Amino acid sequence: MAHNGGDVKFLDGFFTANGIFPDDTYDAGDLKRLYGPLPSLEQIKATRKVKVVRELIRAWDPVAQKKPFGNTKPRRACVATTAASCRRPAISYFKAGASGGLWVYAADSGKVLKVIHTGSHIMAAPTTYAVNGEQYVAVQVGYGGTAIAEGSFPPSSAALKYENANRVIAFKLGGGPVPTPKARVTELFEKPPEQAADKEAIHAGEIKFIEECSRCHTLGSSVTPDLRRLNPGLHAAFKDIVLRGALAPAGMERFDDILSEKDVDNIHAYLIDQSWVAYRAQETAARK
């Protein structure tokens, strides 16, 4: 950040926008020009006896006052238990996660009873109910919510392999396999328009993009459009879209209250620059 010697003046917190995760992609040296000196991943790991980025499910027995078991919880996942498990702990609890699996566990031991693959990223908590004496477990699936501000789809996410179809899936004992969404097809980058801006303008555009745009847009596969893939029509209308709200009915509001025309030109230049980076990498890979 600016007070830390970096070029970025602010970065909103996790409840409204993106943050920095010290996961395997974390590189303090690469981030230094934007955010100033940061601790290395090795330094961060040295402060913890466990994995730095992790989530856990821990069961607690209120009578025995002890923890029966603990399991690692997939990132952006939720849990539900059957009502009967409070009286008969051996019934089950359910956990859903990014890879598209619904895990069924024995609630007394944490033993995996079954894994049902859905092909969809699951963020919502499952719920259980009964109809005419038959029990069902239902869950809303699809990647979205505030997670769109945390970057592109996680490497473990089913949304990278299949289209991000939003749906409700219901399960029952003896039910058949879950239909998966269509396989995701990644389109090739089209040749970008010629770059007319200099390095200073591109760098200024990167800073503004991080500060004002990255809370919703990421450069990669995500819920919102990857702005490196703008078509000629959107390039031509870029200023009208960002400043004057040409696509406001589709959810892209106007930003003329916080961005100037120069800011928008710089952001546009940065996106064109990143388009060229991706396009050249694509062309190089095709020649190998």
Regions in the chain scoring below 70 on pLDDT: 1-4, 11-19, 54-57, 68-78, 82-97, 146-150
Q: Do 139 and 122 meet the contact criterion of CB atoms below 8 Å apart?
A: yes
Domain boundaries, the chain: 1-54, 56-172, 186-288
Helix, strand, coil percentages, rounded to 5, for the chain? 30, 15, 50
129 C-beta neighbours (distance < 10 Å), count: 11
pLDDT at 283: 95
pTM attached to this predicted model: 0.74
pLDDT at 86: 41
How far apart are alpha carbons 244 and 256 in whole angstroms?
7
pLDDT at 24: 75
pLDDT at 34: 82
Q: Which CATH number fits domain 186-288: 2.40.220.10, 1.10.10.10, 1.10.760.10, 3.20.20.70?
A: 1.10.760.10
Q: What is the DSSP pairing of strand 112-117 with strand 101-105?
A: antiparallel
Question: CA distances (Å), 117 to each of 28, 75, 177, in order?
Answer: 36, 17, 8
How far apart are alpha carbons 61 and 99 in whole angstroms?
29
pLDDT at 70: 59
72 C-beta neighbours (distance < 10 Å), count: 10
pLDDT at 87: 41
For tokens 């869950």, the residue is 139
Q: 92-105 burial, b if ≥16 CB within 10 A, otherwise e?
A: bbbbbbbbbbbbbb
216 phi and psi angles, rounded to 5 deg: -125, -40
Q: Is 270 exposed, middle or buried (0-12, 13-18, 19+ CB in 10 A)?
A: buried
Classified as helix, coil or strand, 149 is: helix
How far apart are alpha carbons 259 and 205 in whole angstroms?
11
pLDDT at 83: 56
Q: Round to the nearest angstrom and report the end-to-end CA distance of the chain.
A: 40
